[in-house]
């Protein structure tokens, strides 16, 4: 099963995924895919595999997309790494993923004010860039049931909610 984690920029997906990686360390039922991104490693944010545009174009991806001037991908070789593979993806690739894989979706959300504060705190974008991100509206296709994790409290509360959701999915899937 491919478990897609989606949500707006600033919702805290990377932080929740990091906490979940620790919570499930050593569990052979679950694998957390590392994204390949055309962004330098020292640009901040998630730990990812940085590549150039040329390197990206030469890779084999299970899923890939472009957003915010960057290219993102989930390497094809990680899809079968465990019974459940968790990947942080764009909402725009859900339908494509579902055509080729058994897919479940977790949407991480937070109020707009929280998103704006988190994006500003990252310091990677201008106020105009942040406004563009906040105004970007991409919905989950209606035919896909998704589970929602609201990440509007402390980091630990968000991680606890996210891990509980993953445990419920694992219990049903494996």
Q: What is the span of the domain harbouring residue 54?
A: 2-164
Whether residue 169 is contained in a domain is answered as no
Can you tell me the distance from the alpha carbon of 60 to that of 80, in angstroms, rounded to the nearest whole number? 14
Residue 151 in tokens: 């990440």
Can you tell me the distance from the alpha carbon of 129 to that of 5, in angstroms, rounded to the nearest whole number? 23
Mean pLDDT of the chain: 88
Whether residue 171 is contained in a domain is answered as no
Q: What is the pLDDT of residue 43?
A: 65
Q: What is the pLDDT of residue 137?
A: 65
Q: What is the pLDDT of residue 106?
A: 95
Q: What is the pLDDT of residue 118?
A: 82
Whether residue 115 is contained in a domain is answered as yes
Q: What is the pLDDT of residue 87?
A: 96
Q: What is the pLDDT of residue 15?
A: 92
Average pLDDT over residues 16-24: 96
Whether residue 173 is contained in a domain is answered as no
Q: How would residue 166 be classed by pLDDT, with cut points 50, 70 and 90? A: very high
Count the domains in the chain: 1
Give the model confidence (pLDDT) of 33-87 as tens digits: 999 999 877 766 677 888 999 999 999 999 999 987 899 999 999 999 999 999 9
Give the model confidence (pLDDT) of 86-103 as tens digits: 999 998 899 999 998 999
Whether residue 18 is contained in a domain is answered as yes
High-pLDDT (> 90) share of the chain, %: 59
Residue 119's SS3 state is helix
Average pLDDT over residues 147-167: 95
Q: What is the pLDDT of residue 140?
A: 76
Q: By C-alpha distance, which of 30, 136, 126, 41 is closest to 87?
A: 30
Q: What is the CATH number of the domain that holds 63?
A: 3.40.50.300
Average pLDDT over residues 110-137: 80
Q: What is the pLDDT of residue 125?
A: 75
Q: Where are the alpha helices (DSSP H) in 33-154?
A: 53-58, 94-100, 112-122, 127-135
High-pLDDT (> 70) share of the chain, %: 94
**Alpha-carbon dihedral 99, 1, 30, 156, rounded to 10 degrees:** 70
Can you tell me the distance from the alpha carbon of 159 to that of 62, in angstroms, rounded to the nearest whole number? 27
Whether residue 174 is contained in a domain is answered as no
Whether residue 111 is contained in a domain is answered as yes
């Amino acid at each position: 099963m491919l478990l897609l984690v989606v949500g707006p920029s600033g919702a805290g997906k990377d932080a929740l995924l990091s906490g979940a990686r620790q919570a499930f360390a050593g569990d052979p039922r679950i694998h957390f895919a590392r994204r390949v991104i055309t962004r330098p490693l020292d640009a901040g944010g998630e730990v990812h595999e940085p590549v150039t545009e040329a390197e990206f174009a030469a890779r084999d991806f299970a899923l890939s997309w472009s957003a915010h001037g960057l290219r993102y991908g989930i390497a094809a070789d990680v899809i079968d790494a465990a019974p459940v593979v968790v990947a942080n993806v764009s909402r725009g690739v859900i339908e494509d993923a579902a055509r080729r894989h058994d897919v479940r979706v977790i949407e991480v959300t937070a109020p707009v004010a929280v998103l704006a504060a988190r994006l500003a705190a990252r310091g990677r974008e201008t106020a105009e860039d942040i406004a563009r991100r906040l105004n970007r509206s991409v919905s989950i296709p209606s035919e896909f049931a998704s589970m929602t994790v609201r990440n509007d409290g402390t980091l630990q509360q968000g991680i606890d909610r996210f891990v509980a959701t993953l445990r419920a999915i694992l219990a049903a899937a494996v």
